[in-house]
Amino acid sequence: MGELLPPSPPRRHLLSVGDLEREDVERILATARSLAGSLGRELKKLPTLRGRTVVNVFYESSTRTLSSFELAAKRLSADTMSIRASGSSVDKGESLKDTILTLSAYDPDVIVIRHPSIGAPRLVARWTDAHVVNAGDGKNQHPTQALLDVYAMQEAFGRLEGLHVAIVGDVLHSRVARSLVQALGLVGARATVVAPPTLLPPGIDALGCETSTDISAISAADVVYVLRMQRERMEEAYVPSLREYTALYGITPERVRPGQAVMHPGPMNRGVEIDPRVADSDAALVIDQVRAGLAVRMAVLYDVLTVAPVAPVARGVAEAVA
Ligand code: NCD
């Protein structure tokens, strides 16, 4: 696959899958595959990002995304620190801009940001010289989740081209669904989103997917990708009751066909969108996704950093020499 990669430069930031080309996705997946090899060794640390600093700034709760970014930075020998909104000066009313300006005084190389507001990472990129990676902004984008998901699919199926993925559940509030539909389109896979009419955002097909409100639409797919019911983003009742949602759209053993893989970004609401018997079955790739998250986030940190901007001083020196 390496020889297919065109020589485009890595991107400075990773804000949205919509900013990526197919070659960007293929380059990051290839880097993740080679880095994954190092994770199986007894000594897991690589010197690649020694002397670099990665700051994680999380304004929303997280288990997998934050822990994997921290560990990814450490495995590449970068210095890393994590600021969570609660327990920081955000609690005291400090604005996002002031928080970013404060942290930027330490000259970080990368800021990884999760924020409930759509577009916050793009604003952060304007306020700092660091490379910015979006770790989830409201219901908009979660690009590293989409990359780790396609990586896990490629590992499980050995291909992405032509793979059919049914994304089921609370599509309306899901940044994971939006990013994943776009990423699947970039790698030549097919996406069908399946949700009750109230949780199916109008116009989602413009991102490059088919839509259905009928749960039986999942039977044609190679992968059933289950979304969490995002109750924290629901201001009103989108379904008559969770019990009814589970009855109509919950992923039970009866709804999974032999040979299908089941994925979930976590955290899972067992017994709501996914039956525990499915979550614990051999069809479930949930833990493979978490493992993929480490390799892919290492690859993303490496990718944004390999094209470091030329610092003004260095540029001056280069021009003087020329
Ligand atoms: C997702 C998120 O935060 O968007 N979780 C994650 O990053 N693993 C999905 C979710 O919260 O449902």
The pLDDT tens digits for 167-199 are 999 999 999 999 999 999 999 999 999 999 999
3 assigned to some structural domain: no
**φ, ψ for residue 209, nearest 5 deg:** -140, 165
- CA 18/CA 278 separation, integer angstroms: 32
93 assigned to some structural domain: yes
Ligand 1, pocket-test mutation among 59, 61, 114, 142, most atoms within 8 A of CB: 142
Write out the catalytic residue numbers: 64-65, 92, 114, 142
317 assigned to some structural domain: no
The pLDDT tens digits for 244-287 are 999 999 999 999 999 999 999 999 999 999 999 999 999 999 99
* pLDDT at residue 307 in the model: 56
| Pair (119, 204) in one structural domain | no
318 assigned to some structural domain: no
| Pair (28, 133) in one structural domain | yes
Whether 20 has a pLDDT exceeding 50, the answer reads yes
- CA 28/CA 187 separation, integer angstroms: 12
* pLDDT at residue 234 in the model: 84
Average pLDDT for 274-301: 98
* pLDDT at residue 309 in the model: 43
| Pair (151, 25) in one structural domain | no
- CA 53/CA 80 separation, integer angstroms: 6
Ligand 1, pocket-test mutation among 145, 264, 273, most atoms within 8 A of CB: 145
What are the Cα distances from residue 154, in Å, to 57, 63, 168, 231, 235? 30, 24, 20, 31, 37
Task: Give, to the nearest 10 degrees, the angle between helix 286-305 and helix 64-75.
Answer: 50
Between 28 and 315, whose confidence is greater?
Answer: 28
189 assigned to some structural domain: yes
| Pair (132, 156) in one structural domain | no
Q: Which domain holds residue 66?
A: 17-142+292-302
Ligand 1 atom index nearest CA of 142: 4
* pLDDT at residue 22 in the model: 96
55 assigned to some structural domain: yes
pTM exceeds 0.85 for this model: yes
Measured in Å, residue 155 CA sits from the centre of ligand 1 at: 21
10 — pLDDT class (breaks 50, 70, 90): low
Residue 319 buriedness (CB in 10 A; 0-12 / 13-18 / 19+): exposed
The residues, ordered by sequence, that sit 6+ positions from 185 with a Cβ below 8 Å of its Cβ are: 191, 207, 208, 209
Within 6 Å (CB) of ligand 1, which residues are found? 64-65, 136, 142, 145, 175-176, 228, 230, 265-266
Measured in Å, residue 311 CA sits from the centre of ligand 1 at: 35
* pLDDT at residue 11 in the model: 78
Average pLDDT for 69-75: 98
The mean pLDDT of the chain is 92
231 — pLDDT class (breaks 50, 70, 90): confident
310 assigned to some structural domain: no
| Pair (115, 236) in one structural domain | no
| Pair (125, 188) in one structural domain | no
Ligand 1 atom index nearest CA of 136: 4
| Pair (186, 265) in one structural domain | yes
Measured in Å, residue 154 CA sits from the centre of ligand 1 at: 21
Whether 229 has a pLDDT exceeding 50, the answer reads yes
| Pair (167, 280) in one structural domain | yes
7 — pLDDT class (breaks 50, 70, 90): low
Average pLDDT for 136-157: 98
Measured in Å, residue 139 CA sits from the centre of ligand 1 at: 10
* pLDDT at residue 260 in the model: 98
- CA 117/CA 129 separation, integer angstroms: 21
| Pair (47, 114) in one structural domain | yes
* pLDDT at residue 122 in the model: 96
Ligand 1 atom 1: residue of nearest CA? 265
How many Cβ atoms from other residues are within 10 Å of residue 63's Cβ? 10
* pLDDT at residue 9 in the model: 62
- CA 271/CA 115 separation, integer angstroms: 28
Q: Residue 27 sits in a domain of what CATH number? A: 3.40.50.1370
Whether 318 has a pLDDT exceeding 70, the answer reads no
Residues facing residue 114 across a β-bridge: 58
37-41, 52-56, 131-135, 204-208: range with lowest mean pLDDT:
37-41
| Pair (82, 99) in one structural domain | yes
314 assigned to some structural domain: no
The residues, ordered by sequence, that sit 6+ positions from 241 with a Cβ below 8 Å of its Cβ are: none
| Pair (106, 61) in one structural domain | yes
| Pair (132, 163) in one structural domain | no
Ligand 1 atom index nearest CA of 114: 3
Measured in Å, residue 149 CA sits from the centre of ligand 1 at: 12
How many domains does the chain contain in total? 2
